[in-house]
Amino acid sequence: LLNGKIGAASGRIAAGGNGQLKYPSDVILDKARDSLFICDWGSKRIVRWFLRNANNGETIISGVTCMGLTMDEQGFLYVSDVEKQEVRRWQVGETQGIVVAGGNGIGNRLDQLNDPRKVFVDRDHSVYVSEMVNDRVMKWVKGAREGIVVAGGRGRGSSLSQLNFPEGIIVDQLGTLYVAERGNNRIVRWPKGATEGQILVGES
């Protein structure tokens, strides 16, 4: 992983670089703890890398095929696992974590996930997760046994009611969802409760 200032001619290695990471898929910066948390997908683990020591990483979670990672304001980590078809909430130091989305096998039911990718957590601790194969974004309210489709879920396609390989997601304070679609090469905004998205980038 590299970091660098905007406009700089080159960056510097912030983590890895000597075969220490294998196909890293996501990273978050934790300023409070002066560290990076990295999805080391190829090694099936989450690594903590202290910014003041770029030579060494510490495995904090093992056995997760992680594609997405985020952290809430309390310091809990949320990890999407594409092998177990679930999202778990972890406290650093835990060995099991708690399933907060999916965990009922692969599928397209409201209590299932299929290829979960990126994860977002709002202030109410609702978990949003993009599903690559189901072409939808689901919202799992804290403690819920099923999710709610908040974008897509109407088959793969390019209409405003569909998604095509959704990946990156962000939700603002009004509940508006922003989705990066790999398959449609666009960024789409879905207002809260909308049945169609609005193209922001990639119209043509």
The domains of the chain are located at 24-202
Handedness of CA 150, 151, 155, 161 (dihedral sign): positive
Instruction: Give the whole-angstrom CA distance, residue 97 versus residue 88.
Output: 6
pLDDT tens series, the chain, 204 aa: 556 566 666 555 656 566 778 899 999 998 888 899 999 999 999 999 888 766 778 999 999 999 999 999 999 999 999 999 999 999 887 888 999 999 999 999 999 999 999 999 999 999 999 999 999 999 999 999 999 999 999 999 999 999 999 999 999 999 999 999 999 999 999 999 999 999 999 977
Residue 3 β-bridge partners:
12
User: Domain 24-202 is in which class?
Assistant: mainly beta
How far lies 113's CA from each of 10, 52, 64, 116, 129, in Å?
Answer: 39, 37, 16, 6, 9
Q: What is the pTM of this model?
A: 0.90
Instruction: Give the whole-angstrom CA distance, residue 120 versus residue 132.
Output: 15
For 110, left (φ over 0), alpha (ψ -120 to 50), or beta?
A: alpha
Instruction: Give the whole-angstrom CA distance, residue 1 versus residue 11.
Output: 10
